[in-house]
Structure 1
Amino acid sequence: MRITPLALLSLFCVAAGPVRADLHITRDHGGYVEEYKARYARIRDRHERVIIDGICNSACTLVFGIVPMNKICVTPRASVGFHQAYYDKAFTFGIKVTSAEGTSDLMSYYPDAVKDWIRRNGGLTTEMKKLKNGEELWKIVDPCPDEW
């Protein structure tokens, strides 16, 4: 078989074409807020979709304030959890110390629907407040369509 320059060019174009790499969240308990901000900004800038298909807690929930809501959906297994921000335990001798500034920063990212749910449920506290799949979550984010 002979490979022509046109065939080689076609193969290159297919391989180098845009690839949709959806983020599929199944078990994310959070982490460093700045890392999540950067990750979600890349997803937003690439116009990728986010499928929440399990646990999305803590810093993971920043997805609601950074990625456009029409690019996010939830499956029946979705669960999101919110709490106050903490300082890195490496700097607090292993003790959980809340950060008013960090908590305010988190809240500043959330869309109004998320802020309203948090307020109706007593605001952000040290305890995780979980929002499981169902009507309350669907008021914030759409269920995933079958084609996702």
Structure 2
Amino acid sequence: MRRLALFAMSIALLAATSAHAEIRIVQSPGGQVGPFLDLFEKVRESGERVVIDGPCLSACTLVLSIVPGERICVTKRAVLGFHAARSVDRRGRFYAEPEASEAVLAAYPGPIRDWISRRGGLTSRLLLLKGRDLAAIYPRCR
């Protein structure tokens, strides 16, 4: 239930700025992949720019695979967080999804794939891309 509330909050934050021809991600802990795919498909179709202005973790990073890179910019507060795909069983235990991890990694733009690979690939450990490393891949927002 808490994850659903956090996802709803993330969606509300994203939708709140859409009238200004940009989507601003200020804090997204991630969540289930499906809703993020649907949301980012709509953003791609809208032609709006995406401003990453805070943490964009886990499934939120799928924006990089769906929205064209020239429509994405980052602020000094931007942080991207990557980890291997995982699912939850009926008992609430996480288990790895290696095929899904491979598919997600392959969908990321080349510079993101390279950055992740240089750090050991997608594992259960959260990899954080921020600061100069992030600004070397995506432009700073104006």
Is the 8 Å Cα contact of residues 74 and 133 (structure 1) preserved in structure 2?
A: no
| Counterpart code for 1:53 | D
Cα distance in 2 between the residues matched to 1:34 and 1:60: 11
SS in 1 for 2:76: coil
What are the within-5 Å matches in structure 2 for residues 70-109 of structure 1?
A: 70-87=70-87, 89=88, 91-109=89-107
TM-score, length-scaled by structure 2: 0.82
Cα distance in 1 between the residues matched to 2:98 and 2:52: 28
Alignment match, 2:113: 115
Alignment match, 2:52: 52
Cα distance in 1 between the residues matched to 2:136 and 2:114: 11
SS in 1 for 2:120: coil
Cα distance in 2 between the residues matched to 1:37 and 1:130: 21
Unaligned runs of 5+ in 2: 1-18
Cα distance in 2 between the residues matched to 1:61 and 1:32: 12
Residue-pair matches, total = 124
Structure 1 residue 33, shift from structure 2 partner: 1.2
TM-score, length-scaled by structure 1: 0.79
Alignment match, 1:140: 137
Q: For the pair shown, which has the larger CA radius of gyration, 1 or 2? A: 1
Structure 1 residue 92, shift from structure 2 partner: 4.3
Structure 1 residue 98, shift from structure 2 partner: 1.1
Cα distance in 2 between the residues matched to 1:133 and 1:92: 38
Cα distance in 2 between the residues matched to 1:143 and 1:51: 9
Superposition CA RMSD, Å: 1.2
Sequence identity percentage:
40
Structure 1 residue 105, shift from structure 2 partner: 2.0
SS in 2 for 1:31: coil
Q: Considering fraction of residues, name the structure with more helix.
A: 2
| Counterpart code for 2:31 | G
Cα distance in 1 between the residues matched to 2:113 and 2:96: 19
Unaligned runs of 5+ in 1: 1-18
Structure 1 residue 66, shift from structure 2 partner: 0.6
Structure 1 residue 140, shift from structure 2 partner: 1.7
Confirm or deny that 1:32 pairs with 2:41: no
